[in-house]
Structure 1
Amino acid sequence: MTRLSRSTPLPQGVERPSFDPGNLKVGIVHLGLGAFHRAHQAIYTDKAIEARSGDWGIASASLRSVDIVADLKAQDYRYSVVTRSGSGDKARIVGSIIDAIAASEERERLLQRLTDNPTRVVTLTVSEKAYGIDPVSGGLDLSHPAISHDLAHPTAPIGVIGMVVEALARRMHLGRDPLTVLCCDNLPGNGNIVRRLVLEMADRRDAGLAAWIEREIRFPSSMVDRIVPAATDQTRTLAASLIGAEDHLALETEPFSQWVIEDDFAAGRPAWEAGGAIFVSDVHAYEKMKLRLLNGSHSLIAYLGQLNGLEYVRDVMGVPVHAGRVRQHMEAVLPTLDPVPEIDLSAYREELVARFSNPAIAHRTGQIAMDGTQKMPQRIFAPAAERLAAGGDAADFAEVVAFWLAYVITAKHLDDPRAAELKVAAALASTSVSSAPFFGIPGLFPPELKDNATWRQFVDAHLRRLCPA
């Protein structure tokens, strides 16, 4: 079987771009060339170009991996996304990515792309931990390897914030047009967070640069949603059967996709609404809904799965008692949410349950369980603190925290940026079956939870049940 390329004849039924990717010019630079970007923003951009044309081709950069860039180039930047559901599978070839850059080997080429005047939007999907956020202050974490390197070597950055700051410095000195930096990671107020980090790093370098960025550059917030499991050999085999070609970059995903974006752009944007994106003046309510109902429930499912030997999300949802526990958590979240324009929360919850239960999607609980210290604060700790402040007991959230801590205590391997601290706390906690060592980790739990003895007793009671001495 031949490998997918721009000249590959495709079977009927395979969706493909109605435009010629060879005629596109780069208007977007994306940092974080992972599966989610390729199954989400790239498809929205395909549909935007199909609807209203425009030079919105994407130059996608991987900050670490070289292999994915090599694979994209070998396939003329083509790849397939298979949408899976109980009713069948459908493949689409994506065409909006027209350049790929391995930052570890092509830093100058990436900086040039970011500096080029036609680049009007920079999008980001690099994971929560890559930003280098201090867990206590919310600003720059000076101990983060990429942050410390980029402060010391500002013109030779390796991290996402340093890369953006150096590119903006070059744009300012060259008199380039302003642009928009659009974060698409699961961080509350993600645009505000990235803006703060960029301004802090810029100010340490040059107060004039920070002032120019504050005046000229836009940092809208956004909320993204689509389940995109890590690709497997089975994914690639399925894609090959649908497209009639070998595709090293094939992805599988669910039918559902959502993108809510604050409409604040410095130099225009693609017509992403053609793909279903929603433009609003404030994404806060949507973001809170998604982080707490979807992502919070996902974390609960992940730790239930890991503690009970269930590999996939669908396996957890196939156990009635676990599915009921997920519904219970969603009910506990509801009082912490704001009204969400044009969203029926009851219907949204039922849709989430159906999505989690999709038999065709193999989303590993181990993948979701990673980086708990980066995910739990906004998904679980924040709503717990709000429930306590409103006079509730937040007992549901205490149990979710206990599931996470039990996972940390029992896991043979922890993939987390604070793994060393967690392991020390886990060793202490396992002897006394107490959550106290975890509450002693600086900046991990907010004071509202750390200082609430009654709520911590709920956590300990659940933890003793899960990890008996």
Structure 2
Amino acid sequence: MTERLCLETLPRLDTAHRPAVEPGALSCGIVHLGIGAFHRAHQAVYTEAAAAATGSSDWGICGVSQRSPGVLNTLAPQDFLYSVLEREKDESRLRVVGSLREVLFAGADPDLVIARLAAPTTRIVSLTVTEKGYHADLATGRLRVDEEVRADLGARVPRTAVGQLVRGLQRRRAEDAGPLTIIPCDNVSANGRTAETVVRDFCRLLPEESTDGLEEWISENVAFPSTMVDRIVPATSEEAVHEVQRRLGLRDEAALVTETFTQWVVEDRFRGARPAWEQVGVTFTHDVTPYELMKLRLVNASNSALAYLGLLAQLPHISDAVDVPEFAAYADALVRREMAPTIDAPPGTDVDAFCAGVVRRFGNPWLRHRTRQVAMDGTQKIPQRLLRPMAESRAAGREPVLAALAVAAWMAYVGSAASGGYEWSLEDPLADELIRVTGSAGSSAQRLVTGLLGMQRVFPDDVAQDEWFRATLTDMVADLGRFGPHAVVDAVLG
């Protein structure tokens, strides 16, 4: 059997494939909550490059797996080393990343997670916990006090990211461990402000005797910069693992495949030290909003639209959907005609070129990004990606038919998934409510649309009460069921 990638076997690699830093020399200055594939192919890569550029050994990463020991079990035998294969057309680059130096599973070591957050050597805490991981009501940005948050407010060692952050800050303050910067890296509008809001809301719900003065300490010692992150990092296929093994000559069970495109924009608002990310391509700005809206409305909105149409057409991957000419034309028209007019692009941005690049990126045949993966947690995604720009378009007197089709495709998918139309169950934090609504609707498109529009945690009043929107969605959901997604997309484009 081929030997496995680890520190012992690392010297056997070609120099071009080795980490840009000496992994064993790094100390952990960053704790990352949500150590999934995206962080390892994005922020961890930037962090290693910054350490190499400056010769700093202070910015190793301690990753925390929130939900499963799987990442820990895979990476520990490899001394937390893994490879990133960037591919697009005939271009490819493979390198082992060494910036990740520890992985904890929060379910097994919750106290150790809090200790790492409170350690004086920790200067930065970053997060990729997905939209639902903030436990925020995305309509208001305030903390959603659900069952998990209530449990964290009680006696248990916290399992939610917000609970971990607050308990870590409490201990950090008590031990005078110094300032901290908390950097969210998820597709949440104003994610820094959202993280700060849910942290403060959590503090206010704790007994006063345990938090006296904590909010004031946070104001003086903790920063929550907003960010925009962009890179497609799908789940790794067996084919990709074999390709990496062939090129490395070592077995890497944690290999990642991604595109060559990558972008990270960070609000320049820190407490204390940070890596020299600006030296390796990270954009620092005083206002992330233009970058954020461009990503959410041009990239994420079209990605979600392709996912739901693709699932209705029984296509397993986003690239399969782009291979359908009418779907590719629809996604291109969606971003150009309806989404681009709702953004103020960052200075110097060629919006037309950016729009052209969106569908091209989704069509990358090496990125086997599953439609099911993109479709999950729709109630947390479509408000930012589709509903808010649609409301702005309606207020400006426009009829965003293409965006309405994306929402209708989501509704049709929810109706099918909730009734067992797929081999997997509906994956969404509001799944119980969705199943209840769709069950009451039966086969009626009108009842389905009316029921889903009545979910106030998803649909804002100005959208839910818009008669044009309601009628358009009802017709589209009915047509998707009657004629299928190909015919409906053709009709809308025609």
- Of stretches 192-201 and 448-457 in structure 1, the one that deviates more from structure 2 is 448-457
The answer to whether the 8 Å contact 1:28/1:56 transfers is: yes
> Residue 397 of structure 1: which of 399, 403, 406 is its match?
403
Counterparts of 1:243-282 in structure 2, within 5 Å, are 243-282=248-287
The answer to whether the 8 Å contact 1:65/1:102 transfers is: yes
* Cα shift at 1:136: 5.1
- Of stretches 186-195 and 328-337 in structure 1, the one that deviates more from structure 2 is 328-337
**Which residue number in structure 2 is paired with residue 239 of structure 1?**
244
**Which residue number in structure 2 is paired with residue 172 of structure 1?**
173
TM-score by length of structure 1 reads 0.97
- Of stretches 56-65 and 337-346 in structure 1, the one that deviates more from structure 2 is 337-346
- Of stretches 126-135 and 4-13 in structure 1, the one that deviates more from structure 2 is 4-13
**Which residue number in structure 2 is paired with residue 300 of structure 1?**
305
> Residue 134 of structure 1: which of 132, 137, 143 is its match?
137
What secondary structure does 1:181 align onto?
strand
**Which residue number in structure 2 is paired with residue 442 of structure 1?**
456
What secondary structure does 1:241 align onto?
helix
The answer to whether the 8 Å contact 1:126/1:185 transfers is: yes
* Cα shift at 1:11: 4.2
> Residue 114 of structure 2: which of 107, 111, 119 is its match?
111
Q: C-alpha offsets along residues 4-40 of structure 1, whole Å, 9 cap, x if unaligned?
A: 0112244437432232111111110000010001100
**Which residue number in structure 2 is paired with residue 421 of structure 1?**
433
Structure 2 residue ranges without an equivalent (≥5): 484-494
Separation in structure 2 between the aligned mates of residue 13 and residue 378 of structure 1, nearest angstrom: 43
Counterparts of 1:7-156 in structure 2, within 5 Å, are 7-8=8-9, 9-12=11-14, 14-54=16-56, 55-135=58-138, 137-143=140-146, 145-153=147-155, 156=157
* Cα shift at 1:142: 1.2
The answer to whether the 8 Å contact 2:65/2:72 transfers is: yes
Separation in structure 1 between the aligned mates of residue 212 and residue 226 of structure 2, nearest angstrom: 24
**Which residue number in structure 1 is paired with residue 473 of structure 2?**
459
The answer to whether the 8 Å contact 2:84/2:94 transfers is: yes
Q: C-alpha offsets along residues 108-165 of structure 1, whole Å, 9 cap, x if unaligned?
A: 211111111111000000111111113554311112x321111113x71111000000
* Cα shift at 1:212: 1.3
What secondary structure does 1:467 align onto?
helix
- Of stretches 280-289 and 57-66 in structure 1, the one that deviates more from structure 2 is 57-66
What secondary structure does 1:431 align onto?
coil
Pair 1:360 & 2:374 matched: no
What secondary structure does 2:239 align onto?
helix
**Which residue number in structure 1 is paired with residue 164 of structure 2?**
163
The answer to whether the 8 Å contact 1:14/1:243 transfers is: no
**Which residue number in structure 1 is paired with residue 489 of structure 2?**
none
Pair 1:188 & 2:189 matched: yes
Q: C-alpha offsets along residues 294-334 of structure 1, whole Å, 9 cap, x if unaligned?
A: 00000001011100111111111111111110011102101
Q: C-alpha offsets along residues 234-292 of structure 1, whole Å, 9 cap, x if unaligned?
A: 22111111111111111111110000000111012101123311111110000000001
Counterparts of 1:220-235 in structure 2, within 5 Å, are 220-235=225-240
Q: C-alpha offsets along residues 64-92 of structure 1, whole Å, 9 cap, x if unaligned?
A: 22121122221111111111111143211
The answer to whether the 8 Å contact 2:143/2:201 transfers is: yes
Mark the CA change 1:77 to 1:406 in structure 2 (over 3 Å): closer, same or farther. same
Percent of aligned positions that are identical: 40
> Residue 349 of structure 2: which of 338, 343, 348 is its match?
343
Aligned pair count?
Answer: 467
Separation in structure 2 between the aligned mates of residue 20 and residue 309 of structure 1, nearest angstrom: 46
The answer to whether the 8 Å contact 2:380/2:458 transfers is: no
The answer to whether the 8 Å contact 1:44/1:274 transfers is: no
* Cα shift at 1:431: 2.7
* Cα shift at 1:421: 1.1
Separation in structure 2 between the aligned mates of residue 339 and residue 363 of structure 1, nearest angstrom: 27
Alpha-carbon RMSD across the aligned residues, in angstroms, is 1.5
What secondary structure does 1:464 align onto?
helix
TM-score by length of structure 2 reads 0.92
* Cα shift at 1:99: 1.0
Pair 1:287 & 2:292 matched: yes
1:440 aligned partner, one-letter code: G
* Cα shift at 1:402: 0.5
1:438 aligned partner, one-letter code: L
Separation in structure 2 between the aligned mates of residue 459 and residue 243 of structure 1, nearest angstrom: 51
Structure 1 residue ranges without an equivalent (≥5): none
Mark the CA change 1:115 to 1:301 in structure 2 (over 3 Å): closer, same or farther. same
1:120 aligned partner, one-letter code: R
* Cα shift at 1:358: 1.0
1:378 aligned partner, one-letter code: Q
Mark the CA change 1:271 to 1:428 in structure 2 (over 3 Å): closer, same or farther. same
The answer to whether the 8 Å contact 1:199/1:214 transfers is: no
Separation in structure 2 between the aligned mates of residue 210 and residue 442 of structure 1, nearest angstrom: 30
The answer to whether the 8 Å contact 1:31/1:160 transfers is: yes
What secondary structure does 2:265 align onto?
strand
What secondary structure does 1:260 align onto?
strand
Separation in structure 1 between the aligned mates of residue 386 and residue 4 of structure 2, nearest angstrom: 44
Separation in structure 2 between the aligned mates of residue 71 and residue 104 of structure 1, nearest angstrom: 16
Separation in structure 2 between the aligned mates of residue 127 and residue 268 of structure 1, nearest angstrom: 26
The answer to whether the 8 Å contact 2:237/2:368 transfers is: no
The answer to whether the 8 Å contact 1:40/1:226 transfers is: yes
The answer to whether the 8 Å contact 2:294/2:345 transfers is: no
